[in-house]
Amino acid sequence: MNRPILASIHTAAFQHNLGRVREMAPKSKIWSVIKARAYGHGFEAALKGLASTDGFALLDIEDAAWLREHGWKGRILLLEGFFHENELSRAAEFACDLVVHCDAQVDWLEGFKWKYHQPFNVFLKMNTGMNRLGFKPEAYRTAFHRLHAAGYHMHHMTHFSNADQVDRLPSVASQQELFNKTIVGLEGVTSLANSAAIMWHRNALGDWVRPGIMLYGASPTGLYADIQHANLQAVMQLESEVIDVQELEKGDRIGYGGRFEATGPMRVGIVACGYADGYPRHAKDGTPVWVANNKQGVICPLVGRVSMNMLAIDLRNAPEAGVGTSVQLWGDKVPVDDVAMMSDTIGYELLCAIRHEYLLLLSN
Ligand SMILES: *Cc1c(COP(=O)(O)O)cnc(C)c1O
């Protein structure tokens, strides 16, 4: 690919962020969550940067196969278990741990002849109020006993709806209380906390934490201040270049719909990156873009609607910038959370949408 767009993945930042999780949850083991191709960062980078994790949690058995082929010998957790019975022998072959969240899975597991393999470690998922996946407390104990009787190693899991907000229901405390009450007397370890719980609910961590977004240096709430406070680093840096410069007069407008109108003479830089590349089309005027401006970096605001493969920036802060000048759309100089906030979404969505062919692995 010749267009000057690149998402460089800094594996040292992965190591740093994983180290921060260990400091915040010193008594817990870590499932590093790498669903959605490691939140858009690619499995290769995740395997390299997060090699000292205790396990990887993901969704697709084919991705588990990839990890095994590339030498991962630690634990793997399939976060939604299996989607059909015919995946079970491969899950056993790759020594995956399974989340089990519904009766159909329990039926299939009872019928599965695991005796040719090791029995699975099962993290049985309790629905404590999120109402997405999992068993309600009454059904939970029944499912637990059925799988226990079938010879599986049983553990406990739930997921919080609101670990990043204080005033929403159900609360972390209510979910945690229901979870603890339901597993009384049952053997097995526990897994509860996503990034938000690790950052803000240190009494709700459990034996295995499940950080996702914080490993990538973005915030569960979308506020960059959280990232600074937790001392996390951006892993992905999305970079491109100015490919044209337009000189505007007062009253000139930019791009589709003419959303931005110049109030006086100004230089506008056209950057090779648009919504087809993963930059949000809904980014508002003023969304920050970092521009190299002859080695002295400055922030220049986005102006006008984002196109399929281009966007425009106000170069009044960057008089030295011209064709070929480097820009950073997000990364260490522009928090992805700030771009997301200006686009009415969260960093998760932006990171996941980056095209695989733009990824470049860097070890610093
Ligand atoms: C995605 C996911 C996580 C990680 O969530 P973050 O908010 O990215 O930390 C943890 N647990 C489960 C079950 C998930 O699906």
pLDDT in tens, the chain (364 residues): 789 999 999 999 999 999 999 999 999 999 999 999 999 999 999 999 999 999 999 999 999 999 999 999 999 999 999 999 999 999 999 999 999 999 999 999 999 976 667 899 999 999 999 999 999 999 999 999 999 999 999 999 999 999 998 889 999 999 999 999 999 999 999 999 999 999 999 999 999 999 999 999 999 999 999 999 999 999 999 999 999 999 999 999 999 999 999 999 999 999 999 999 999 999 999 999 999 987 789 999 999 999 999 999 999 999 999 999 999 999 999 999 999 999 999 999 999 999 888 888 876 5
Length of the chain: 364
- Pair of tokens at residue 210: 């499940």
* Residues contacting ligand 1 via CB (< 6 Å): 33, 35, 79, 159, 194-196, 210-213, 220
Give the start-to-end residue ranges of the domains of the chain. Answer: 11-225, 236-362
Catalytic residue list contains 256: yes
Cα(192) to centroid(ligand 1), Å: 10
DSSP string across 6-57: EEEEEHHHHHHHHHHHHHHSTTSEEEEE-HHHHHTT-HHHHHHHTTTSSEEE
**Among the CATH numbers 1.20.120.610, 3.20.20.10, 3.10.129.10, 3.90.1150.10, which is that of 11-225?**
3.20.20.10
Catalytic residue list contains 35: yes
Catalytic residue among 136, 181, 250, 256: 256
Q: Residue 35: what pLDDT?
A: 97
Pairing of strands 298-301, 260-261: unpaired
Instruction: Quote the CA–CA distance of 112 and 356 in Å, as a whole number.
Output: 36
The pick from 21, 53, 77, 79 for probing ligand 1's pocket by mutation, whose C-beta has the most ligand atoms within 8 angstroms, reads 79
Q: Residue 357: what pLDDT?
A: 85
Q: Are 170 and 179 in contact (CB under 8 A)?
A: no
- Pair of tokens at residue 114: 């695991």
DSSP string across 54-96: SEEEES-HHHHHHHHHTT--SEEEETT--SSGGGHHHHHHTTE
Cα(26) to centroid(ligand 1), Å: 19
Instruction: Kindly give the number of the ligand 1 atom that is closest to the alpha carbon of 35.
Output: 1
Q: Residue 50: what pLDDT?
A: 98
The pick from 33, 131, 165 for probing ligand 1's pocket by mutation, whose C-beta has the most ligand atoms within 8 angstroms, reads 33
Q: Are 342 and 284 in contact (CB under 8 A)?
A: yes
- Which residue do the tokens 């425009």 mark? 312
Helices (H), 76-151: 88-93, 103-111, 137-149
Instruction: Quote the CA–CA distance of 1 and 4 in Å, as a whole number.
Output: 8
Q: Do domains 11-225 and 236-362 have the same CATH topology?
A: no
236-362 CATH: 2.40.37.10
- Single-letter residue type at 150: A
Contacts of 361 (CB under 8 A, 6+ apart): 8, 9, 11, 42, 44, 45, 48
Cα(260) to centroid(ligand 1), Å: 38
Q: Residue 104: what pLDDT?
A: 97
Cα(246) to centroid(ligand 1), Å: 44
Q: Residue 126: what pLDDT?
A: 98
